[in-house]
Structure 1
Amino acid sequence: MKKLLILFLTFTMSFANAQDKGYWVCFNVNVDAEGQEAFVNALDGVFESEIGSQFPFTVTLNEIMFASRENKMTHQLCFLAPNAEVMDAWGSGPPPNAEGKLIQMLFEQYVEFEDSILGSPLIFDPSVALNMDYFTVWQLAVQDPGTVASAFVQFDKDTKKMGTGVFGLHEAIAGMRGGVTHYFVARAPKMSEFLTSREKIINSKAFMNYISKTRPVSDIVGNFSGKIVKRYNMPQ
């Protein structure tokens, strides 16, 4: 099994304007079933510690429930920074305490690394979206980002009252594969609410308008869905 020397953060005390453009890093990983409980407990030990509470990143652990063949992973570990300056805190080793050493050992023993992806939210409210458990992600290859972004804004506005979830649009910057340039994300408090809202939306005029505008300039190249199982340092 491949070893993952995960790029945790060397921690900084500098914080910038929270309204700056945000960035995120997601690790797509496969965690052996026998090591999953220990893996989660180790994450708790790091990010619920006094040191971890001062990390300038919001952190989520996502369990993958459904995935296309291109997305071979059981979990995602994602770090969200509120601005570019906070990304300078991204380091090359776990915290130098007992919890950090344990999580490094567990990564080497139980975790197989698939991808590390750097991206940026284009339309996204973390204080709302990251408090919803269920999500579905469509990986897009976009030829005209302006057209897709404009269509997304209109679609988001027109479907606001059709369900309890929210939509997000993200840009891929580095580490992606298969021609992926963007991510369209649908979130809901739970899967049943996502499915109920989906039936209303896919039969709506708003959805037809979005498809007619984006299909000529974008392709869906992958898809996966899951749920957030752990949250740390959530935005207020």
Structure 2
Amino acid sequence: MKNTFLGMVTLLFAFQLNAQQVTWQCYNVVVDNPAALTSVWDDFMQTDIGKSMSANAIFQYDFASSEFAATHQVCWFSDNPVELQENFVKFANAKTMNTVGIYETWNEEVEQESAVLGQSLIADPSGFSLNFSVLYYLNVKDPATYAAAFTKMKAAAEDSNDGEGTLELHEILAGGEPGVTHAVIVRAPSMADWLENRNEFFSSKTFQDFVKTVRPVSEVLHVVSGSPIKFYNVD
């Protein structure tokens, strides 16, 4: 089996609710039949157990290197860590009872590769519904220096794209690939929008100053991209 990059489950659709810090947990999975998983998850989220869970989503990877086996992630997220802990028990009970066939589908169509726990550090809810995301997986040696530079760069980047994209900074707490400590998520309405804004902003003095500041204290290890399929319990 291909070696799976555990850090790539860094919740591409994670977000910040006002000033609250969002914690998230994700399963990185290989899905043989995505339609079957989405269908049974739709049904599962209509049950009492499903409705009682925190916000969650199914996500697909669009671009990744050959070393990454995972095709999708199933993630839960909340500003209340107690809710996330309860999800473990609820999901285990649902599989034991085979609620709406979730046990059969999970075992027949899904191969779990890894599980990762993380939290948002700098994020913005305005980008929650954007359809294309690029993740930069990082090793950060000086988080304070990186965060300060990122905050300045983020403001300039979002001003330059007329509100058509957002940037987020997340920390990997457990389950990440060795060396991966953080992830930067860049969201845009589409891949074309991201490419256009990226090429323009990367040549700017603001971005060059950011690179000069963070290069001594960080390293980009991997870059992947993807898009959300469906969100649940987000109202």
Q: Where on the TM-score scale, by shorter chain, does this alignment land: which range? A: 0.7 to 0.9
Give distance in 2, aligned partners of 1:130 and 1:60: 12
Give distance in 2, aligned partners of 1:94 and 1:221: 37
- Retained in 1: the 8 A contact 2:122–2:169? yes
- Retained in 2: the 8 A contact 1:46–1:99? no
Gapped regions of structure 2 (runs ≥ 5)? 2-16
1:211 aligns with 2:211: yes
Show the counterpart of 1:121: 120
- Kindly report which structure 2 residues correspond to 1:141-152, keeping only aligned pairs within 5 A, or say none: 141-152=139-150
Gapped regions of structure 1 (runs ≥ 5)? 2-16
Shift of 1:30: 0.8
- Retained in 1: the 8 A contact 2:94–2:103? no
RMSD: 2.2
1:153 aligns with 2:132: no
Worse-superposed segment, 185-194 or 169-178: 185-194
- Retained in 2: the 8 A contact 1:25–1:117? yes
1:90 aligns with 2:90: no
Show the counterpart of 1:104: 103
Greater percentage in helix: 2
Q: Which amino acid in the other structure matches residue 197 of structure 2? A: S
Q: Which amino acid in the other structure matches residue 150 of structure 1? A: A
Show the counterpart of 1:43: 41
Q: Which amino acid in the other structure matches residue 30 of structure 1? A: V
Structure 1 pair 39–88 and aligned structure 2 pair: CA distance change class (3 A): closer
- Retained in 2: the 8 A contact 1:62–1:228? yes
Give distance in 2, aligned partners of 1:105 and 1:160: 44
1:151 is paired with a residue of what secondary structure? helix
- Kindly report which structure 2 residues correspond to 1:1-236, keeping only aligned pairs within 5 A, or say none: 19-32=19-32, 35-55=33-53, 57-92=54-89, 93-95=92-94, 100=99, 102-125=101-124, 127-163=125-161, 164-234=164-234
Q: Which amino acid in the other structure matches residue 121 of structure 1? A: S
Question: Structure 2 length as normaliser, TM-score?
Answer: 0.84
Give distance in 2, aligned partners of 1:226 and 1:143: 27
Give distance in 2, aligned partners of 1:190 and 1:49: 33
Give distance in 2, aligned partners of 1:173 and 1:61: 21
Structure 1 pair 70–148 and aligned structure 2 pair: CA distance change class (3 A): farther
Shift of 1:219: 0.8
Structure 1 pair 79–119 and aligned structure 2 pair: CA distance change class (3 A): same
1:95 is paired with a residue of what secondary structure? helix
Give distance in 2, aligned partners of 1:214 and 1:48: 45
